[in-house]
Amino acid sequence: MNKKRTTLKDIANVLNISTAAVSKALNDDTRISVKTKKAVKQVAKELNYQPNHLASALRKGKSNLVGVIVPRTNSNFFSSVVENMEGVLNKAGYNIIITQSNESFEKECKNIDALLYTQVDGIIASMANETVDLSYYEKIKSNGIPLILFDRGENDLNVDYVGIDDYQSSHMIVDHLVGQGCKRIAHIGGYRRTRIFNNRICGYVDAIKKHHLPPDEELLIESGLTLEDGRLQIENLLSLKNRPDAVYVASDYAALGALQVLKEKGIRVPQDIKLVGFGNEPFTSLVTPTITSISQHSAQIGRLAAETFLGYVEKEVVEQKLNKLILNSELIIRESSK
């Protein structure tokens, strides 16, 4: 059933006072008597009145809302980032609106439009895998709204960014695997068009060269890094005449898929093939064998992204300047690689 939204006029009609008086009473204006305030709030409660925050934001030019865009919410990394981000923003009087792109460029654009329509005071985002066209992010900037990117972002936008050193993370992983005696290391990576996955691929390639291991294009695979991708791509690697003795996967979910196939085929991990993931999802310490992975310091990223936004508000910065906060990652070594 459609139910008409209660307005200030509805409350005013019940009490036979002006809408201006109702508005002042609801905002505890000192010019309104205590008796009138009490009556107005009682009627508002009975009529289930809900303030129109969008209209209020338009009047004040401030909504105290921050839009957050994540590729997916079922990832411990992104949920941890958002949780810590929200903690900082809530203390400063802001609420957040969370949207997810599901790695879809089209949905990401719709999310941006919805957040702009809601008059958010800022947007903190991690880009979808499909995103190549940056025009919608440029649209945020052209509206004068602070834009902070985390984990995934593009340097071409010239906005603040918080994340880890993905290039160096790949070096850490290859160094570790070489130290375990591996000589034929494969990489199931993301798509090069996404900056972080391109950096991980470049780090892998350069680390292989650093250790004077023969490069092999068959060992470098780009994928969507879902669990299903992990299953499919490990099958492709196992079909090679010369199998890898280690596989570095740029996502824990894809690494889990790879581990499932290896166990189904009776291939021992780490004795026959060593395995390393990326993201340090909670399940990496629960499966058998436990999975070596990179910790991305999600809590710190969330707090820093929120503090970066607050810096614009508190300092009343008009134009954004490039401010990259790059954190050192940590390799959590577990049973799958040692």
Based on the fold, state whether residues 151 and 45 are members of the same structural domain. no
pTM comes to 0.80
The residue to which tokens 């947007």 are assigned:
123
Predicted local distance difference test score (pLDDT) of residue 57: 57
Based on the fold, state whether residues 277 and 266 are members of the same structural domain. yes
Q: Which uninterrupted H or E stretch holds 335?
A: none
3-state class (DSSP) for residue 189: strand
Cβ pair 294, 278 in contact under 8 A: yes
Count of domains in the chain? 3
Based on the fold, state whether residues 159 and 227 are members of the same structural domain. no
Based on the fold, state whether residues 224 and 241 are members of the same structural domain. yes
- 66 Cβ partners below 8 Å, 6+ apart? 89, 94, 95, 96, 97, 120, 121, 122, 123, 124, 306, 309
Assigned domain for 119 exists: yes
Alpha-carbon distance of 138 to 298, in angstroms, equals 26
Predicted local distance difference test score (pLDDT) of residue 1: 45
Predicted local distance difference test score (pLDDT) of residue 319: 54
Average pLDDT of adjacent 10-residue blocks, the chain of 338 residues = 72 88 84 89 86 62 89 90 96 94 94 93 93 90 92 81 95 98 97 91 97 95 95 97 97 97 97 97 96 96 95 65 84 97
The domain spanning residue 192 has which CATH number? 3.40.50.2300
Based on the fold, state whether residues 91 and 196 are members of the same structural domain. no
Based on the fold, state whether residues 103 and 134 are members of the same structural domain. yes
Domain extent at residue 241: 166-296+332-337
pLDDT digits (tens, 9 = 90+) for 54-93: 566 556 667 889 999 999 888 889 999 999 999 999 999 9
Per-residue tokens: 223: 């994928």
Assigned domain for 322 exists: yes
